[in-house]
Amino acid sequence: MSRPHRLCLVAGEASGDLHGADLLLALRAQLPDLEVFGIGGQRLREAGMETVADAAEVATVG
């Protein structure tokens, strides 16, 4: 039995959240069993990522 694919994403600001959500949706189209967790905002949560911290709390630049 194979293990599920797991991915950690970190998006520390709004554009990363937007592009990360698009990436996540594209990856899920290819890997429906993909488990994704990390730091992100509302868009990544809406795309199905389990957030361990909200991007607004740890906002970064650069």
Q: Is residue 24 part of a domain?
A: yes
**Boundaries of domain holding 17:** 6-57
- For position 28, what pLDDT does the model report? 95
- Tell whether 12 is covered by a domain: yes
- Edge to edge, the sheet with strand 50-54 lists 6-10, 35-40, 50-54
Residues 6+ apart with CB under 8 A from 29: none
Domain count, the chain: 1
Q: What percent of the chain lies above the pLDDT cut of 90?
A: 77
To which residue do tokens 């911290």 refer?
Answer: 53
| pLDDT value at residue 60 | 72
**Residue 1 maps to a domain:** no
Show the CA angle centred on residue 44, arms to residues 35 and 13, nearest 5°: 130
Task: Decide if 62 is inside a domain.
Answer: no
pTM for this one? Answer: 0.86
The answer to whether residue 62 scores a pLDDT higher than 80 is: no
Burial class of residue 33 in the structure, from the number of CB atoms within 10 Å of its CB (0-12 exposed, 13-18 middle, 19+ buried): exposed
